[in-house]
A and B are shown apart, each in its own frame.
Chain A
Amino acid sequence: MYRIWCLLVLGVLFLHSSLPMQAEVASTRNKPSTLKKVLLEIADAHSDLVTIEEFADDGLGNSLLWITLGLGENVHTRPAMVLVGGIEPMDVTGPEVMSGIVSSFLVSRTLNNDRILDSVTVYVVPYLSPSSLETLFNSPDEEVFGSLHPHDADRDGLVDEDGGEDIDGDGRILWLRKRSSSGNFVEHHLAPEIMVPYELGVKGQRYDVYLEGIDSDNDGKLNEDVVGAVNLNKNAPHQYPAYTDYAGDWSMTAPELRALTEKVFSRPNIIGAYVLGTYDNIKSDWKFDARRNPRSANLLSTDSSAYASLRTELAGDAPFVLKGAPAGDLGSWLAYGVGPITMIAPTYVYLAMPQDSSLETSSDPEVLAYRWLRKHKSKAIKGWESTEHNFFDSEVEVGGVVAWDMVNAPADSLQAVTEKHYTFVRTMCDHMPKLSVEHAVVDLGADMYRIELTVSNEGTLPSHTVVGNRVKMHKSVVVQMTPSASVTLIEGLQKTVDSSPIEGHSQRSYQWIVKGKGSANILVMSPSFGSKSVNINVSAGGR
């Protein structure tokens, strides 16, 4: 009964959050700290299925949670997925989605008798950037650019001394723009309050764009050192965007990323990952950049085929293609630097827009989101208005879209967003590697026998990945032969360490020649593949 009550608590939270919401009433959404309390209660009520550990401190007084979903004593030695949300500093929806997925697994088990957690382990990190997310709840009309570890972005010896200010007194910190023939931005042609990078040949007025505010430190630069901010989706090593805003002084300076990476390394059973990112690799043509990494192109072909197989399974549920280039983001770091087969999906905008048939449709989900906001949450958009600003010697305008509203799902579509993500995750669970073994004993005469073992992977994902194995996160497939005292191993290894992955829907054979009658035990094991032990009667027939 208590279990159901806890799930209801989470349901009530989501119901509560489905009230009509404006950014200024962010209290209707759930902070990471609120979600943590509820998740701990759920873990208490489902202690056989759910454990929660605070695996790291973010250095700012917030703990990072590692939730383990799974039944049985072998949860850490069988195929597993890790889900990571709440990475982007504005992504309030991500932790809620992750918490909703935890709930969905439990509800599905209770109501639909879904037994997936008996054989697959799911690790969930609901949020990686709690400091910025918590802060955002206090100032929902501001934009946060990264985690809040003090950072001297402009290298002037002062820290976080020049962030944004609400100069027009409307309660929001939006954007300033100034006409400039060499400006780097133009208006989005369908959404004029959204400024997009200028591309060669595009017609229209060009602008310089600044965060709304003043030159607080009087250094001639506007808002060049905001609070924080190292963006966790720009600080990881894969194609790290050195020397760019919010990327940190060098890669992996963010303690949150280091803690997560160490944690994933400590769980070599993780073969799949699902990450809420800023683009998707489910439908988009996202592949390893062989040109930049020529030494690794062939090496990764095995992993590439696993990606292709999984995409085939998932793409039908992916409504949009969100193109993007990896540049220091967590998802591509996990894929190319750690090892799990990693699927990246945007938390909200491109995934599950709220429906409104009265709105003109568009193939660009950002435009759809904008149109929806314009109709349903007009306060989230401010048209460009001239303003006085002593920093500039010519007219400037203030305006734009409140980042919270653009980034986060409207409360009444949160459930749909969560369901969409759960569908992806649940589908990935069905495609975990599945280990099975068969054996045969062939009588060679002279009291000698050949033992043949066939190891099959009946799942879609490989036993482990090439990347994971090379970086020492994934273990090889170890086949351990232990003959009884009366049986002598003549040919073949006592321990075979097979670093080459056994791909999905494929098999691999091993054999030994032994002498004498008796028994032999063969143990096949790899954390990301699971383990099987067979006892073999060494004699003709072998059963």
Chain B
Amino acid sequence: MKKRILHIALTCLFLMGSFVSVQASDVKGALAGLGSPAQPAVDIAWDRYYDYEGITEILKRLSNEYSDICTLESIGKSFQGKDIWCVTITNPATGEHTTKPAMYIDANIHANEVQSAEVALYTAWYLLEMYGKNDVITKLVDTRTFYIVPTQSPDSRDSFIHEPNNPHSPRTGQIPRDDDGDGELDEDGPDDLNGDGHISIMRVPAVNGNWYIDPFDSTRMVYAEDGRRGTHNIIWTEGFDNDGDGAINEDGPGYYDPNRNFGWLWRPAYQQYGSDRYPLSIQEQRATADFIAAHPNIIGGQSYHNAGGMILRGPGASIDRVYNRDLAVFDFLGEFGEKVIPGYRYLITHEDLYSVYGGETDWMYATQGIVGFVNELWTPFNMYRVIPDEDDWFGSVEQSQDFDRELLFGEATVAWTEVEHPQLGTVEVGGTVKHYQRASPGFLLMEECHRNMAFTLKQAMIMPELEVASITRESIGDGLYEVTAVIANNQQTPTKLQVDVENNITRADVITLSGPECIVSGIVEMRPLEQFSVQDKTPEQVEVPYIPGNGTVTVRWIVRGRQQCTVTVNSVKGGTATGTYR
């Protein structure tokens, strides 16, 4: 009997073992490369794009493995009922997540900008795997909170990965909309004519057409310029006229642009294409905004997109502004980003790219007082480490095709093949696969993740770090004393941005004295001699508009008695600090 039990147990162990895949960290004798977790508890391949189920599994594994510093929650549901996941990473032993300056990171608001989710996931993974092993990361997790939303568009992410698409689709979510105004919803989207899982383009031979085939590379189409006679016309993306209206693919899934739907300088669709019905009409973006607004401790913001290798700051529109004092923080980080992510450029959205009304990070800045950046991942610089032209977001056709041929060995190309089209007759279909041009190739993805994470962690590092730098007490006679406290912010970001202070977005920072009876209190300023501005109300509490980056504020109480004095700073976005004078 015992033998039989042993046999069953051994069989079970063998079967269990057969389900455990060999992971990189299982291989003994390796020296981990610097900057990477040596033996990650959750081993993840960073050379691929995960669908919704994959992201969910990774997040659950991380939150289970690191449940002491990581929690996973659903902040809302997508149109198709998927969870919009958010991981919160901080060390609760050093304070509740809401009491620390917070960095909010999201990605994949445009689902076709696929690798953005991996950058956000990588950030969560790296913070968790390196906590306790790297001092910088440990300090960050102890003193800051990270809220990370890897995908804002889980429905369309699955569409991108599992359904036929091109590099630019789906940018929209999946809520049906009547794009062509014919009363029908999503009735004429693209069709995968050659059944390869990609929506590439259709061409037909044409006398004096606009394009011709490159005589040196038959996969390449060249636009017929300078009076040259072309051989083909390019019709459109793959598809039929499904509804008999003479147009092809004019009403596919969606269409709206989730990153034009936020409630700052939102404009109707005739002014801002894709803005949808009204600010935050799209439930996924409403969930995101509600989450951010419910966490006023967020002062750093990052949204990952692709492509072009850009670090974008607002304003998105020329009628908007970024306050002068806030520019110091933006510029410092933008320039840092250009350094740590070679090939990326620090740009102003409306000046250097195009106008964006209703953009997420503009909403973050103007209504929540958050330093918001958009990183456009993947730069053609990464192909050959050559700085591209200023307007070259995806790389030239020639460069892209060389890169595909020489480094991807042709995986990105959809060879031209003939198919029968019900309206056009015989057409040729070809071009590129959907995860080329904008998505980072597998062998470069981990680098993209790490460098962009480093940029984001820099922002987290320079978020406010408060300290009660000194407390002094001087007798002024009759049992009264002046208690003076200097409150320092030891990082570059002020506790409130200027946009916040000027527009009363969050409450003032409050510095409280407990211990002796407070008679009167106020702020001490040096102009150039000491000036004491009295605050009339609640003398134990002094309100200061903000505590500047790498600066101090000095506050003073006139108190009765010599009891121990405890000074507590409480800043919505800057965190807390306490000091005692005995």
Contacts and interface: CB of A to CB of B under 8 A. Distances in A.
Contact of A156 (B277, B279, B507, B535): B507
Contacts of A157: 507
Contacts of A155: 504-507
Interface in A474-495: 474-476, 478, 493-495
Contact of A219 (B183, B319, B366, B537): B537
A84 B182 CA distance: 28
A250 B269 contact: no
A499 interface: yes
A469 B271 contact: no
A448 to B, nearest CB: 20
A293 interface: yes
B29 to A, nearest CB: 56
A470 interface: yes
Interface in B141-189: 177-183
A265 B277 contact: yes
Interface string B344-356: 0000000000000
A299 B507 CA distance: 43
A254 to B, nearest CB: 11
A497 B268 contact: no
B98 to A, nearest CB: 12
A472 B181 contact: yes
Given A336-B268, A493-B246, A251 B279 contact: yes
A475 B244 contact: no
A467 interface: yes
Contact of A476 (B180, B268, B278, B367): B180
A416 to B, nearest CB: 36
Contacts of B183: 268, 475, 478, 525, 527
A295 B319 CA distance: 13
Given A220-B537, A258-B278, A250 B181 contact: no
Contacts of B537: 215, 218-220
Given A155-B505, A250-B363, A478 B182 contact: yes
A348 B507 CA distance: 39
A257 B277 CA distance: 12
A249 interface: yes
Given A250-B363, A493-B244, A471 B269 contact: yes
B243 A250 contact: no
Contacts of B507: 154-157
A457 to B, nearest CB: 17
A499 B267 CA distance: 21
Interface in A279-323: 292-293, 295-296, 299
A249 B279 CA distance: 12
Query: Which of A258, A337, A470, A493 lies at the interface centre, i.e. has the most chain B CB atoms within 10 A of its CB?
Result: A337
A289 B522 CA distance: 47
B409 interface: no
A119 interface: no
Interface string B431-471: 00000000000000000000000000000000000000000
Nearest to A248: B263
Query: Which of A257, A258, A472, A474 lies at the interface centre, i.e. has the most chain B CB atoms within 10 A of its CB?
Result: A472
Given A220-B535, A243-B503, A525-B183, A495 B271 contact: no
Contact of A251 (B263, B505, B538): B263
A253 B505 contact: no
Contacts of B268: 237, 336-337, 467, 470-471
B125 interface: no
Interface string B269-313: 111000001111100000000000100000000000000000000
A252 interface: yes
B266 interface: yes
A265 B177 CA distance: 11
Interface string B318-344: 010000000000000000000000000
A317 B246 CA distance: 47
Given A157-B507, A493-B246, A497-B245, A337 B181 contact: no
B270 A252 contact: no
Interface in B478-537: 503-507, 535-537
Contacts of B181: 469, 472, 474-476, 497, 499
B212 interface: no
Given A250-B367, A497-B181, A237 B266 contact: yes
Interface size range of chain B in the complex: 35 or more
B277 A470 contact: no
A352 to B, nearest CB: 33
Given A154-B504, A251-B263, A337-B268, A476 B279 contact: no
Contacts of B240: none
B85 interface: no
B278 A250 contact: no
Nearest to B262: A250
A118 interface: no
B264 interface: yes
A466 interface: yes
A250 B535 CA distance: 31
A362 interface: no
Given A218-B537, A475-B183, A493-B245, A296 B278 contact: no
Nearest to B180: A497
B270 A495 contact: no
A496 interface: yes
B245 A250 contact: no
A262 interface: yes
Contact of A475 (B178, B277, B280): B178
A18 interface: no
A471 B506 contact: no
B246 A252 contact: no
B258 to A, nearest CB: 16
A261 interface: yes
Contacts of A293: 271
A107 interface: no
A242 interface: yes
A497 B182 contact: yes
Contacts of A219: 537-538
Contacts of B280: 252
A242 B367 CA distance: 9
A493 B248 CA distance: 13
A502 B407 CA distance: 56
Contacts of A299: 270
Contacts of B270: 296, 299, 466-467, 470-471
Contacts of B244: 493-495
Contacts of B293: 249
A202 B180 CA distance: 54
Interface string A517-543: 000000001010000000000000000
Contacts of A268: 183
A472 B178 CA distance: 7
A198 to B, nearest CB: 23
Interface string A154-171: 111100000000000000
A88 B363 CA distance: 27
Interface string A220-261: 100000000000000001000011000001111100011001
A475 B185 CA distance: 12
Interface string A256-279: 011001100100100000000000
Nearest to A481: B244
Contact of A495 (B182, B281, B503, B535): B182
Contacts of A494: 244-245
Nearest to A218: B537
A478 B178 CA distance: 13
Given A155-B505, A497-B181, A258 B281 contact: yes
8 contacts: A155-B505, A242-B503, A243-B503, A251-B279, A471-B269, A472-B178, A472-B181, A472-B277
Given A243-B503, A261-B277, A497-B180, 12 more contacts: A155-B505, A155-B506, A237-B263, A251-B263, A251-B266, A262-B281, A268-B183, A472-B179, A472-B277, A478-B182, A493-B245, A497-B245
5 closest A-B pairs by CB: A250-B263, A470-B270, A494-B244, A476-B181, A495-B245
